[in-house]
Structure 1
Amino acid sequence: MDYSFAELPSTSQSFPKSRHEDSEMPEDNDSSGGMSSSTGMTDIQENTCSSIDDIRRRVQDLVEEINDSRTSDQKVMDGFEEKLMKKVPEMCQQMKELMYSVYEENSNKMEGKLQELFEVLERCTKLNKELVEANQALSGLREALAVSQTPEP
């Protein structure tokens, strides 16, 4: 809300004139017995007081509006904070679920690769065993050939 001083009442006539100006003013003489300039001063002082009171009321109203606005802002921030505090655990839970699904997917892939590795290792073990058996057979054959080639005395 924009506040301007144009809304405030004019105070140009509410300030009392200096003594010098008062002395230059002619006295009001009317048929009621001749009012003096002191009666005019009283009117000016009353106008000044009422204008000052009006300004005070307006300032007080503006201060109250500012305070109300601040209270409203605080309520908005409190509501935002409350919603945020509810949203953070929800987002953390979603992140955990996503993380666990990625873990599960990676585990399945690793399990497949490990299964392939174990199959390859099992074939290697089998081939190694066959190789050892072939080696033993060749060693036995060599010994048999060596015995048969030796001359008998």
Structure 2
Amino acid sequence: MSFCEAPEQNSSLGIEDIRRQAEELVEDINQSRSNDQRVRDKFQDKFVQKMMEMCQEMTGHMHMIYEENSDEMQLQELSKVLENCSKLQNELLEASQALSRLKEDLTMIHKSD
């Protein structure tokens, strides 16, 4: 080997080393990207799952509130019905008393004839 050939061989080894290091860097970058994608996918799956759980919990809570409101509305309606029944009972009592007085008046008129 001559003096001139040695630097070419060293530079070709240097280029080969640089090429190999560049390939390793590209592989490392690609591996890192794959790992990042897996982490993002896992995060997205967990996030979607958590959101679904929260939506189901919120839906359950809303149904419970709807039922409570429904019960309250039914109680209000029942209260109105009972109030109307009470008014009707008073009206019937007044009508019954009026009929009793009318009967007494008719009985007195009939006796006086």
Alignment coverage as a number of residue pairs:
103
Q: Distance in 1 between matches of 2:12 and 2:94?
A: 119
Q: Tell me the residue number matched to 1:75.
A: 42
Pick the structure with more helix per residue: 2
Instruction: Show structure 1 runs of 5+ residues with no match.
Output: 1-32, 142-153
Return the offset for 1:127: 4.9
What is the TM-score normalised by the length of structure 1?
A: 0.55
Higher RCO (CA < 8 A, seq sep 6+) = 1
- Whether 1:93 and 2:57 are equivalent positions in the alignment is no
Extract unaligned runs of 5+ from structure 2. Answer: none
Cα-to-partner distance string for 1:58-114 (whole Å, 9 max, x where unaligned): 121011011101101111211222233333322222211111011111211221122
What is the alpha-carbon distance in structure 2 between the residues aligned to residue 128 and residue 45 of structure 1?
122
**TM-score, length of structure 2 as denominator length:** 0.71
Supply the RMSD in Å over aligned alpha carbons: 2.7
- Give the SS at the match of 2:15: helix
Quick check: which has more Rg, 1 or 2? 1
Matched residues, percent identical? Answer: 15
What is the one-letter code of the residue matched to 2:26? Answer: V
Measure, in 2, the Cα distance between the counterparts of 1:121 and 1:55: 97
